Structure 1
Amino acid sequence: MARLGINQYGKAETHLVRVVRDGDAHVVRDLLVSVALSGALEAVHLEGDNSAVLATDTQKNTVYAFAKEHGVGTPEAFATLLARHFVGGAITQARVEVREVAWERLGDHAFTQASSEQRVAVVIASADETWFASGLGGLVVLKTTDSEFHGFPRDRYTTLKETSDRVLATEVAARWRHDGTASFEDARGALLECFAAHHSLSLQQTLYAMGSAVLEACPTVAEIRLSMPNKHHFVVDLSPFGLENPNEVFHADDRPYGLIEGAVVRDDAPDPGPIWAAYPLV
C-alpha cells in the first residue's frame, strides 16, 4: 500500500521585468517569481481531479497582472501580496519567492547589469499567519589579508599547509527570518561591514560573526542562515623561475570547494514551527 506524502505545486521562475516610466528617468525592476501552493490536493494526485488546481499558467498571469495593478514595491511586499492572494479554498498555504537583480543606471533610460548579486524575499502565507524571510545570493566578497587557517588535524592524506595570512573569498547566500519589518539595507550592510573588519581564523568563525552582526543590527531578525563556499586562492610557486612570491600571485580554483553553512539564532527567538524548519538552509 502507498499513501500521498507532502506535496506542492506552482509556477517556478516567472521572469518579470517592470519598467516604471514616471518622468524622464525610468526605473527597471527585474524579478524572478516562484510560487508553490499546497493544501487539500489529494484528489488531483489520486484521481486526476483538477477541480482544486489553480493552473500554473494562471499563477504566472497573476504575477504579471499584479505588477501592473499594484506595482512591485519591495520584493517582500510583492511576495506578500501574491502569497495572501493565492490562499483560499483548497489552497491552505502559499510560498512565494522573489529574486531581484539590480540594474545600474547609465542615463535616464539606459542601464547595465554589473553584478550577479540577487536580493531574495520569501513569504509563506496561510489563512491565519504569514512568515517572512529576506536575504541575498551571489554576493561575492574577498579580503587580501586578515585571514588565517591553522591548527587543524593532520593525517596521512593532509597536504594543505597551515597559513597565518591568506586570501579569503566567498560567495554569500543568506536568509534571515523576521517579523516583516527588518531592513534589507541594514542587514546587508552588517554582513559587509563585519566581513571587512573581522580577523578570520576560519570561514566558520567569519560566518558566525557575520550572522551575529545582522542580529545586532536588526532587532526584529530572529535567525539568519548562511551558506558560504570557500573560493580558494592558492599561492603560485614561482621558485622554478627564480622569483619570490610573497602572497602576490594566486591561482583561483573554483572546484572543488569547501562549503560552510550554518544558522545564527537569537536566544529569545520565537519557535518558527515546522514551516520554517522544513525550508532549505538558504
Structure 2
Amino acid sequence: MAVSLGHNQYGKAETRVVRVYRDSDPHEIVDYNVSVALSGDFEDIHHTGDNANCLTTDATKNTVNAFAKEHGEAARQPESFGIALAKHFVDDTAPVSRARIKIEMYPWNRLQHDGTPHPHAFARSGEFVRTATVTYDGENLYVVSGVKDYTVLKTTDSEFHGFLTDRYTTLQPTTDRVMATSVTGQWLHTDTEQDWSKSFDQVVATMSSVFAGHHSLALQQTMYAMGEAIITEQPEIGEVRFSLPNKHHFVVDLSPFGLENDNEVFYAADRAYGLIEGTIRNDAFLDRAPAAGAAFDPGQGW
C-alpha cells in the first residue's frame, strides 16, 4: 500500500501580544491574538524525525513579540502586522515556502475622566473582534480583513414565509419577527497597500447600515444585500464571505396567564440554530482568486 504525506503546516497558535505606544500623548494600544502556520520543506521531519529544517514554534512566538517592537508602525494595524510577519517567515527562512498569519484584534476604548477621554486609561470593547488573515508564498500575497462576534438585532422589518414545506415542517410563516445574528465576515482585498483601518471602519458601517435599513424576507437576502453594498462602496474588495447564525427569538405563549403577547416577550434560544453562509463576489476580480487549496482552507477563510 502506497502512503504519502499530504498538505501539512505547523506553527505557534494564539500568541497574545499587547503593544503600548508611548511615543506620544495620549498613549495608544493594540491587543492581538496571533497564530502562525508555516508550510514548506518539512518532509524529513515527518518521515525520519530530522528537525534540521524545523524553525521552532517557540521561535515563531518570539518573532511575533519582537516584531511588535521592531516593526511598531506596521503593528498598529493587524493587516500590516500580518504582512510583515508573513514576508519575514517566507523570505528569511529558507525551508518555509508559505506562511499564514491569523490575527484577532481586541478593541479598547478610552475611559472618561471628568467628562473627557483619559490619555492613558482604557476599557475593553465587547462590540466585536476585528480579524485579519495574511497568506504569502513568496510571490502571491493575500490579505483578508474581517470581523467576528458582531451581534446585531432588529425588532421588526423582518419576514419569513412562502418557504418549502413537507410533512416534518412545523414552523409557521410570519410577516413580523425579531431577526438577530452574530456576524462573522471576511473580505478579500485586491489592493494590499491601503489605509486598513479606514477600510475596516467603512465595511462595518456599511454592513451595519444595510442590516438596519433592509426590509428582510430572509436572512440570506439581507446577507447578500450587505455583501453587495460593501463591494459597491469598495470595488477593490474581491469578495465577501459571511457566516451568520440565526439567533432565534421565539414568542412566548403567555395565554396560560391570561395575557396577550403581541411580539413583546421572547425566548432567546441558543440552540439549535439556523446557520446561513455565503460568498458575495466582485466579478471583476474572479480571475485573481487563488487556486483551490493554495490559500483557502474550507470553513476557515482565505
TM-score by length of 2: 0.90
- C-alpha distance after superposition, 1:128-173 (max 9, x if no partner): 2211111111111000100000111222222211100000000000
Aligned to 2:297: 278
Give the Cα separation in 1 of the matches to 2:37 and 2:254.
53
Aligned to 1:17: 18
AA matched with 2:241: R
**What is the correspondence of 1:108-127 to structure 2 with a 5 Å cutoff?**
108-115=119-126, 117-127=128-138
Aligned to 2:100: 95
Quick check: 1:205 aligned with 2:224? no
Task: Give unmatched runs, 5+ long, in structure 2.
Answer: 112-117
Aligned to 2:152: 141
**What is the correspondence of 1:147-158 to structure 2 with a 5 Å cutoff?**
147-158=158-169
Aligned to 1:216: 232
Aligned to 1:2: 3
Give the Cα separation in 2 of the matches to 1:21 and 1:78.
18
Aligned to 1:163: 174
Question: Which consecutive aligned stretches of 4+ in structure 1 deviate over 4 angstroms post-superposition?
Answer: none
- C-alpha distance after superposition, 1:172-219 (max 9, x if no partner): 001111122361111111111111111110011111111111111111
AA matched with 2:132: A
* Alpha carbons 2:30, 2:76 under 8 Å: kept: no
Of stretches 111-120 and 1-10 in structure 1, the one that deviates more from structure 2 is 111-120
Aligned to 1:74: 77
Quick check: 1:244 aligned with 2:260? yes
TM-score by length of 1: 0.96
AA matched with 2:94: G
How far did 1:273 drift? Answer: 2.1
SS at match of 1:66: helix
SS at match of 1:159: coil
**What is the correspondence of 1:166-177 to structure 2 with a 5 Å cutoff?**
166-177=177-188
AA matched with 1:80: I
- C-alpha distance after superposition, 1:35-65 (max 9, x if no partner): 0000111010001011111100000000000
SS at match of 2:220: helix
Task: Give unmatched runs, 5+ long, in structure 1.
Answer: none
Give the Cα separation in 2 of the matches to 1:196 and 1:234.
20
Give the Cα separation in 2 of the matches to 1:8 and 1:281.
15
How far did 1:280 drift? Answer: 3.1
- Residues 20 and 204 of structure 1, relative CA distance in 2, 3 Å threshold: same
AA matched with 2:40: G
Aligned to 1:229: 245
Alignment size in residue pairs: 282
Give the Cα separation in 2 of the matches to 1:240 and 1:22.
65
Give the Cα separation in 2 of the matches to 1:277 and 1:31.
22
Aligned to 2:115: none
Aligned to 1:50: 51
Give the Cα separation in 1 of the matches to 2:299 and 2:273.
20
AA matched with 1:82: L
Root mean square deviation of aligned Cα:
1.4
How far did 1:271 drift? Answer: 3.4
Give the Cα separation in 2 of the matches to 1:116 and 1:186.
16
Identity across matched positions, percent: 51
- C-alpha distance after superposition, 1:62-93 (max 9, x if no partner): 00001011111211000000000000411100
